[in-house]
Structure 1
């Protein structure tokens, strides 16, 4: 009986935060994320960000909305 080795993979994500969608996509290209196998994981949109640590919460970017673009790729894992 021959056993086949199944390779499991997991998703790896990179999120780029920028003032505009054009700047986020330019950074995607500049970092070579396309060559590394990343693709857009969802819709690009304006977000407000809060950093939470324990009971502390801090509004990032002075509460101003920023564009977030998340990219994903499959890696062995």
Structure 2
């Protein structure tokens, strides 16, 4: 019987005004070298921070580009 390794996914989302800026930050932070890869489509999002029943629009409600990256690590 072979040993099993428990794994989990880790995510990092970069929020920037443009896709080029988000990808530049991916490179600057060395996320590719750390095993991160794009998790889905990059797109414009509006963000709300929720605390209890209260919600606060972030970035003055302006749409920002969100790029999410993922890697799988052993636990």
- TM-score, scaled relative to structure 1: 0.94
- TM-score, scaled relative to structure 2: 0.97
Count of residue pairs brought into register by the alignment: 75
Any gaps of 5 or more consecutive residues in structure 2? none
Give the RMSD, CA atoms, in angstroms.
Answer: 0.6
C-alpha separation between the residues in 1 aligned to 2:4 and 2:54?
A: 44
Any gaps of 5 or more consecutive residues in structure 1? none
| Partner SS, residue 4 of structure 1 | coil
Counterpart of 1:68?
Answer: 66
User: Which has the larger Rg?
Assistant: 1
Matches within 5 A, 1:1-77: 3-77=1-75
